[in-house]
Chain A
Amino acid sequence: MSIIDEVDAKFKEYNNLSEQEGTLEARKGLMADLKIALTQFETLPPSTHQPDPKECIIARGIYEFAVFQSIEEGDIEGFKRNYSTLNFYYNELRYFLVVISRDILPESSKKNSVIGLYLLYLLSQNLISEFHVELQSIPSADHNNIYINVPVSLEQYFVDGNYAKVLATKHAPLDVYNFFIKKFIDTVRTEIARSVEVSYKKLSIKDACEVFMLDDIDQLKEFVERESDINNSDRTISWVIKDDYLHFDTITIEKEGIPAKKMIYQVLDYAREL
């Protein structure tokens, strides 16, 4: 039995397991074995050989599952690692294939769901620039694909400041998406906090709960406490709960004077340049 068949058989076993619930532990071990087995494939990177489509398809399939599994485990670092390996098969591999074998390597059916997941990850980490770079690499025909569309519209609402709509997007196309959507909502909440504190002088407790998307006053108190704990030197606003209202008090700072030293440097700099 060649090494490819061996890995393929193991992969099928994993596939069966993944359809049953509560098999995470078993799959963890199996995935580790599979990845080790992959190192015996001769034409995969970092090898300089012409890649063999058969090996590529199996490797790609394994890493796709690895991506989803790392979410189940809640392992974000692992997710990042698996994704970047997988990205090679999605985007770069074709540079290494001769033209003829390109037809033998069809696009993966899971591609969009994996990329959508990655987009959500970038959003949840507030990495908007990377998000857009990634988005560019998706053909515009796929933009309406549900897996891609969800993160894309989330980002738009987020940048606009349309937080109400962010919350309305609760039904994710895949269960694993919820992992990042939950994280994303936390990100959104801190963003709201930054916006609200400069926009209002005070908010009633009831309104504040609504604005921060919290259920009751206890959660709000906890949140306010957490916010007040963040000791950032350039924070100029303090949060105080008083008489059923949440007050945002501005800490007045001294007015900036004329930066004499900087001016001197600038003018001397011009003189030297000329």
Chain B
Amino acid sequence: MDKKKETKDKDVTMGDKKEEEVKEEKFDPYLEIRKQLILLDKAVEEKDTKACGVVARNFKRIRAEFSLKDVGLIFDHYLPELSAKINLPKYDPDIVKFDIEEKLHLNKERAAILVDTFEAKCFLYILLIMKLIDERKIKMAKEFVDFARAQIDLENSRTLDHFFSKIYYYSGFIYEKLGELNDFVPHFLEAYRAACHRNDEQTQATLINYILRSYINDHLYTQAANFIEICTLPENVSPNQQARNLYYEAKIQAVQMKYPEAQAHVIQAIRKASEFTGKAFRVQAMKLRIIVTLLMGEIPDRNLFSDQEMKSDLYPYFIIVQRVREGNIEEFMKVVNEHEEIFKRNDNYNLLIRLRHNVIKFGLRKINASYSRISLSDITTKLGLDSVKETESIVTKAIRDKVINAVINREEKELKTNEVADVYTSNVPTAQLDKRIRFCMEIYNDSVKALEFPKKEQEKIDFNLDDDDEIQDEQELVESLLEEFEDM
């Protein structure tokens, strides 16, 4: 009796809701799933890889709306056979009083047709994997992702690319959580080969980055350098993957002491990275940027440290920069030892130790600028070195490296500064100007390349969600599709 009443009440409220929806379209996640699946079905039929990409990008919105139990419900409905095999947490049947078909806006037969394509299955798999990760059921996620991978290895179609790459992305994520990423590298390498054969650029990009990541985590820089040399990232992949790739490349080059290249790449990586999410990545990249800049003998801009969000994370590095500027080796080593744990955890310790030499350089440069003549023993105390003899040989090295422009007088044990030649009589400023102009032109060319224009014939059905109008278009399309189905 009660039950009946409740459903009736529900009908009324549902009815009310429908009226409301007309006015201010409320976001219904279940309806959204259905919309996406319909879009996907259409995209597969038309072999529209770009639309598939858009669907794959819409995960983020859906992910936030569901709990794992909701996904269990969806699986029950869309993929009942599979759902029976995997043991998902479910709503208590007593609590589930709503009509499942109504809630999901779809009856069973239609659902079975919708998930007939492999793309749709992948879509649901990924949704489940995401939620398993969100609710920290990593073990279960691993089992499921293994299952999903076993399935996708048998399929081959360009419309699947975006989904494959997602599945591999989460595989890597899960394995890393379990600390088994390096075990997985041989599989990744195999999958990478397969992706190359299929010309599947999305998956290639994901895999390249994971392989590099694993090598770098294991400190196998030789292998990583060899790998990056032969594998170039495909061009049409998401900026996130590009940013990651650039960061890894920068890291490898920093270790190889190719500082100018490393600096260029890490700056590009920071620019490509998303401004709103992935804070950890930006912080890590920023740290690398600071160290590389220091290693090149420059002082990073102070405003790098003023970013509110990253301020506290960058604090130890800020102190390091200050010590390097001061040029006292003792003070510098003290700070390094103080924060040793943090630097080791960030995997930057070895790079920081290399800064030792730069600290001396900075110190000498300062002395050179302030004194025209100074005794070697004074330099020894100022730089915090051990003996005059050491200082002497260090100074000779610095003169040779053109850090300072001076001459040592052996008899008097003193350093005498040479007269500084006016830099504007040389060709140095021209070279600088040339470097900067080239940089500007590169940015210009990159931005032109990054622009995207819709194709003319596609203007009617455009799935690009960058624009409000286009969202409207898309929704109208879905609406019309829905009507069609209801007529059937």
Q: B121: CB under 8 A from chain A?
A: no
Which residues in window 143-172 of A have CB below 8 A to B?
156, 159-165
Q: A201: CB under 8 A from chain B?
A: yes
A-side contacts of B356, CB under 8 Å: 156, 160
Contact assessment for A165 and B437 in the assembled complex, using a CB-CB cutoff below 8 Å: no
Which of A133, A165, A191 is within 8 Å of B221, CB to CB?
A133
Known contacts A129-B256, A164-B389, A270-B441; is A256 also within 8 Å of B427 by CB?
A: yes
B-side contacts of A204, CB under 8 Å: 410-411
Which residues in window 383-409 of B have CB below 8 A to A?
387, 389-390, 393-400, 406-409
Q: 0/1 per residue, B251-295, Cβ < 8 Å to A?
A: 000011110000000000000000000000000000000000000
Bound complex: CA A256 to CA B428 (Å): 12
Which of A129, A162, A163 is within 8 Å of B257, CB to CB?
A129
Interface of B (DSSP majority class): helix
B-side contacts of A198, CB under 8 Å: 396, 399-400
Contact assessment for A133 and B255 in the assembled complex, using a CB-CB cutoff below 8 Å: yes
Which residues in window 318-354 of B have CB below 8 A to A?
344, 349-350, 353-354
B-side contacts of A139, CB under 8 Å: 219
Q: B306: CB under 8 A from chain A?
A: no
Q: B160: CB under 8 A from chain A?
A: no
Which of B344, B360, B399, B400 is within 8 Å of A160, CB to CB?
B360
With both beta carbons as reference points, the residue of chain A lying nearest to B393 in the complex is identified as A163
Which residues in window 166-182 of B have CB below 8 A to A?
180, 182
Contact assessment for B394 and A160 in the assembled complex, using a CB-CB cutoff below 8 Å: yes
Contact assessment for A162 and B390 in the assembled complex, using a CB-CB cutoff below 8 Å: yes
Q: A136: CB under 8 A from chain B?
A: yes
Contact assessment for B257 and A161 in the assembled complex, using a CB-CB cutoff below 8 Å: no
Interface of A (DSSP majority class): helix
Bound complex: CA A67 to CA B258 (Å): 30
Contact assessment for A135 and B350 in the assembled complex, using a CB-CB cutoff below 8 Å: yes
- Looking at the assembled complex, report how far the CB atom of A76 sits from the nearest CB atom of chain B, in whole angstroms: 19
With both beta carbons as reference points, the residue of chain B lying nearest to A99 in the complex is identified as B183
Q: B225: CB under 8 A from chain A?
A: yes
Q: B220: CB under 8 A from chain A?
A: yes
Contact assessment for A195 and B434 in the assembled complex, using a CB-CB cutoff below 8 Å: no
Contact assessment for B257 and A195 in the assembled complex, using a CB-CB cutoff below 8 Å: no
Known contacts A129-B257, A137-B219; is A199 also within 8 Å of B344 by CB?
A: no
Q: B373: CB under 8 A from chain A?
A: no
Contact assessment for A199 and B222 in the assembled complex, using a CB-CB cutoff below 8 Å: no
Contact assessment for A200 and B255 in the assembled complex, using a CB-CB cutoff below 8 Å: no
Contact assessment for A199 and B396 in the assembled complex, using a CB-CB cutoff below 8 Å: yes
With both beta carbons as reference points, the residue of chain B lying nearest to A263 in the complex is identified as B430
A-side contacts of B400, CB under 8 Å: 194-195, 198-199
Stretch of A29-37, A88-96, A175-183 that contacts chain B: A88-96
Q: A128: CB under 8 A from chain B?
A: yes
Contact assessment for A95 and B186 in the assembled complex, using a CB-CB cutoff below 8 Å: yes
A-side contacts of B225, CB under 8 Å: 133
B-side contacts of A128, CB under 8 Å: 257
- Looking at the assembled complex, report how far the CB atom of A185 sits from the nearest CB atom of chain B, in whole angstroms: 14
Q: A254: CB under 8 A from chain B?
A: no
Contact assessment for B396 and A192 in the assembled complex, using a CB-CB cutoff below 8 Å: yes
Q: A80: CB under 8 A from chain B?
A: no
Bound complex: CA A266 to CA B344 (Å): 45
Known contacts A192-B393, A263-B430; is A136 also within 8 Å of B182 by CB?
A: no
Contact assessment for B394 and A137 in the assembled complex, using a CB-CB cutoff below 8 Å: no
Q: B381: CB under 8 A from chain A?
A: no
- Looking at the assembled complex, report how far the CB atom of B416 sits from the nearest CB atom of chain A, in whole angstroms: 10
Contact assessment for A200 and B408 in the assembled complex, using a CB-CB cutoff below 8 Å: yes
With both beta carbons as reference points, the residue of chain A lying nearest to B397 in the complex is identified as A161
Q: B185: CB under 8 A from chain A?
A: yes
Q: B223: CB under 8 A from chain A?
A: yes
B-side contacts of A266, CB under 8 Å: 434
Known contacts A95-B186, A200-B407; is A136 also within 8 Å of B393 by CB?
A: no
- Looking at the assembled complex, report how far the CB atom of A147 sits from the nearest CB atom of chain B, in whole angstroms: 17
Bound complex: CA A134 to CA B398 (Å): 26
With both beta carbons as reference points, the residue of chain B lying nearest to A143 in the complex is identified as B350
Bound complex: CA A200 to CA B223 (Å): 44
- Looking at the assembled complex, report how far the CB atom of A182 sits from the nearest CB atom of chain B, in whole angstroms: 20
Contact assessment for A140 and B344 in the assembled complex, using a CB-CB cutoff below 8 Å: yes
Contact assessment for B185 and A137 in the assembled complex, using a CB-CB cutoff below 8 Å: no
Q: B357: CB under 8 A from chain A?
A: yes
A-side contacts of B426, CB under 8 Å: 256
Known contacts A132-B350, A195-B397; is A137 also within 8 Å of B222 by CB?
A: yes
Which of B221, B396, B406, B445 is within 8 Å of A161, CB to CB?
B396
Bound complex: CA A162 to CA B383 (Å): 13
Which of B222, B349, B397, B408 is within 8 Å of A133, CB to CB?
B222
Which residues in window 50-102 of A have CB below 8 A to B?
91-92, 94-96, 99
B-side contacts of A91, CB under 8 Å: 220, 223
Q: A203: CB under 8 A from chain B?
A: yes
Which residues in window 186-222 of B have CB below 8 A to A?
186, 218-222
Bound complex: CA A128 to CA B434 (Å): 30
- Looking at the assembled complex, report how far the CB atom of B313 sits from the nearest CB atom of chain A, in whole angstroms: 21
With both beta carbons as reference points, the residue of chain A lying nearest to B360 in the complex is identified as A160
- Looking at the assembled complex, report how far the CB atom of B35 sits from the nearest CB atom of chain A, in whole angstroms: 43
B-side contacts of A195, CB under 8 Å: 393, 396-397, 399-400
Binding site for B on A (CB under 8 A): 91-92, 94-96, 99, 128-129, 132-140, 156, 159-165, 191-192, 194-196, 198-204, 207, 211, 256, 258-259, 263, 266, 270, 273-274
What are 20 pairs between A and B in contact, CB < 8 Å? A91-B223, A95-B182, A95-B186, A136-B255, A137-B221, A138-B219, A140-B344, A140-B349, A156-B357, A161-B397, A163-B393, A191-B397, A192-B396, A195-B397, A199-B396, A199-B407, A200-B409, A256-B426, A256-B427, A258-B427
Binding site for A on B (CB under 8 A): 180, 182-183, 185-186, 218-223, 225, 255-258, 344, 349-350, 353-354, 356-357, 360, 387, 389-390, 393-400, 406-411, 426-427, 430, 434, 437, 441, 445
